[in-house]
């Protein structure tokens, strides 16, 4: 299947906990019927790819909020 970009790579400095920050970049893309948010470190190292549930198409600010929660979860694991 061909990927369709919903939101191209966007750089973000994400506040985590206790004044910790993490520089990341993320993109949102559709692959077939599925929607994904791919998160990479500032050095382009893969961090996590999240499949966004059907019916949860968000606006740009909502993807930023989702990014923070995913990072907190991945870092805690």
Half-sphere exposure of 30 (CA within 13 A, CB side): 9
CA distance 44 to 20: 20
- Average pLDDT of the chain, as a whole number: 83
Cβ contact 52:26 at 8 Å: no
Mean pLDDT value of segment 4-9: 91
pTM: 0.79
Q: What is the pLDDT of residue 64?
A: 75
Q: What is the pLDDT of residue 66?
A: 79
The distance in angstroms from the start CA to the end CA of the chain is 31
């Amino acid at each position: 299947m061909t990927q369709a970009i919903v939101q191209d790579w966007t750089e973000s400095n994400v506040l985590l906990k206790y004044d910790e920050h993490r520089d990341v970049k993320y993109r949102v893309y559709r692959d077939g019927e599925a929607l994904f948010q791919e998160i990479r470190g500032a050095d382009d190292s893969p961090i996590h790819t999240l499949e966004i549930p059907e019916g949860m198409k968000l606006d740009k600010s909502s993807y930023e909020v989702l990014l923070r929660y995913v990072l907190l979860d991945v870092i805690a694991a």
